[in-house]
């Protein structure tokens, strides 16, 4: 008698995974690659923090955010699956 065993792994995603991806998206914006104004006046620092707060809020308010995240992760999953299937 022969038997066949199949193992299937499912990749789950957490809010932390989403936020990591959102942070990666922020790197495409020049403001997020600038040096922090650590040695400036409190007013300048407060303005910088206010500007930093706006872009993540815009990304998180996007009603298509989870769809865009899923599409980005689907591409990564396909690469993982092809690599696993090639052995």
The string of pLDDT tens digits covering residues 1-45 is 888 878 877 778 899 999 999 999 999 988 889 999 999 999 999
**56 contacts 5 by C-beta, under 8 angstroms:** no
Would you state the pLDDT for residue 49? 93
Question: Looking at residues 57-75, what average pLDDT do you find?
Answer: 91
**48 contacts 37 by C-beta, under 8 angstroms:** yes
Tokens coding 17: 């995974």
């Amino acid at each position: 008698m022969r038997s066949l065993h199949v193992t299937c792994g499912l990749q789950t995603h957490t809010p932390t995974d989403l936020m990591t991806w959102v942070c990666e998206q922020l790197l495409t914006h020049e403001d997020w690659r600038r040096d922090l104004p650590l040695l400036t006046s409190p007013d300048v620092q407060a303005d910088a923090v206010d500007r930093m707060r706006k872009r993540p809020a815009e990304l998180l308010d996007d009603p298509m955010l989870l769809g865009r995240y899923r599409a980005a992760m689907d591409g990564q999953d396909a690469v993982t699956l092809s690599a696993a299937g090639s052995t």
